[in-house]
């Protein structure tokens, strides 16, 4: 029987892209009461709002997914906000959880916390071997600091924390806003729109030589919920596929799925970000008996189909109005 059965679980960011998938998996695991704080009601960067949230949720377990995040452009535009918001949310939530005697706190970190020139595959022990890539360092450092906080709280207070490092996420329901989207959603939107408008050229950021590891959102949710159920240690754990792809190869796959057969150009004035990303996932396989099950091709196909269904639905609504 799952250790989550009949537990009250608070999921920050539970209404978001990853949060919806995590909440669905929690319900499958027997969690009966799931509290999802909304940002319009609870500003988690404020301690008084966090206190009110705990009064309302009375959680046994907290899963902290909420974040202020975006692609390279958003990180370049808002480094101060991304550091402050992500740092303060985590600090406030962990401290309040300690004060309230919460049974377990699960912090979902980011692959951006790893050093810029980390040797691939990234082992959890490599987390502290250098500084993150500059464009997302404020976000990555804020998230990395929370791993230190959980370790310190475990040693001084016996606080039960879990710290997870997921690969880059994608899937249906992702953020497709051109100002803040990550690479998969941005490419799907750009290539699909090029097909619809008859454009023969699509320009992507960077050189295309950097590599990334992509994790389908439902696989990520399964790994997070398994970790919530089974782990009782703040030692960082990677959650990913263990496979990488260059951005140029990714563009080619997405273009094909979208039906785009024109030229793919590269804007070399835009930075690539971290040169490589690939996680060693052996600890998750050993401790959680978990592996990602959705291939990149299958996940991309589902995401393209979802995006197209949304645009068709928008057109239908526009036609009726």
Active site residues: 139
The alpha carbon of residue 46 and the mean position of all alpha carbons in its chain are separated, in whole angstroms, by 22
- CA 83/CA 168 separation, integer angstroms: 19
Let me know the angle formed at the C-alpha of 20 by 18 and 23, rounded to the nearest 5 degrees. Answer: 110
Let me know the angle formed at the C-alpha of 28 by 175 and 8, rounded to the nearest 5 degrees. Answer: 90
**Which of these, 12, 6, 65, lies nearest to 35 by C-alpha position?**
12
Sign of CA dihedral 77, 79, 84, 85: positive
- CA 109/CA 86 separation, integer angstroms: 10
Sign of CA dihedral 209, 213, 218, 224: negative
DSSP 185-247: HHHHHHHHHHHHHT-SEEEEES-S--EE-EEEHHHHHHHHHHHHHH----S-EEES-S--EEH
Structural Rg of the chain based on CA atoms: 20
């Amino acid at each position: 029987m799952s250790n989550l059965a009949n537990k009250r679980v608070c999921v920050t960011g539970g209404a978001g892209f990853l949060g919806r998938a995590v909440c669905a998996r929690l319900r499958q695991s027997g969690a009966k009461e799931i509290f999802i704080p909304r940002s319009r009601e609870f500003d988690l960067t404020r301690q008084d709002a966090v206190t009110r949230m705990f009064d309302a949720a009375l959680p046994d377990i907290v899963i902290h997914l909420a974040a202020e995040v975006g692609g390279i452009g958003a990180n370049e535009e808002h480094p101060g906000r991304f550091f402050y918001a992500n740092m303060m949310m985590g600090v406030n939530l962990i401290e309040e959880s300690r004060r309230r005697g919460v049974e377990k706190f699960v912090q979902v970190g980011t692959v951006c916390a790893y050093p810029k020139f980390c040797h691939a595959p990234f082992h959890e022990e490599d987390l502290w071997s250098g500084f993150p890539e500059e464009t997302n360092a404020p976000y990555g450092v804020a998230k990395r600091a929370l791993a230190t906080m959980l370790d310190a709280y475990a040693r001084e207070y016996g606080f039960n924390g879990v710290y997870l490092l997921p690969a880059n996420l994608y899937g249906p329901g992702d953020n497709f806003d051109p100002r803040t989207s990550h690479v998969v959603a941005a490419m799907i939107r750009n290539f699909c729109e090029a097909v619809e408008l008859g454009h023969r050229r699509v320009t992507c950021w960077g050189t295309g030589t950097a590599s990334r590891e992509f994790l389908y959102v439902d696989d990520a949710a399964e790994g997070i919920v398994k970790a919530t159920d089974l782990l009782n240690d703040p030692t960082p754990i990677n959650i990913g596929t263990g496979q990488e792809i260059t951005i140029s190869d990714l563009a080619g796959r997405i273009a094909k799925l979208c039906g785009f057969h024109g030229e793919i150009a590269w804007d070399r004035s835009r930075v690539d970000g971290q040169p490589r990303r690939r996680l060693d996932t052996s600890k998750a396989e050993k401790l959680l008996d978990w592996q990602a099950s959705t291939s990149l091709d299958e996940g991309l196909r589902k995401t393209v189909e979802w995006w197209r269904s949304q645009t068709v639905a928008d057109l239908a609504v526009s036609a009726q109005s």
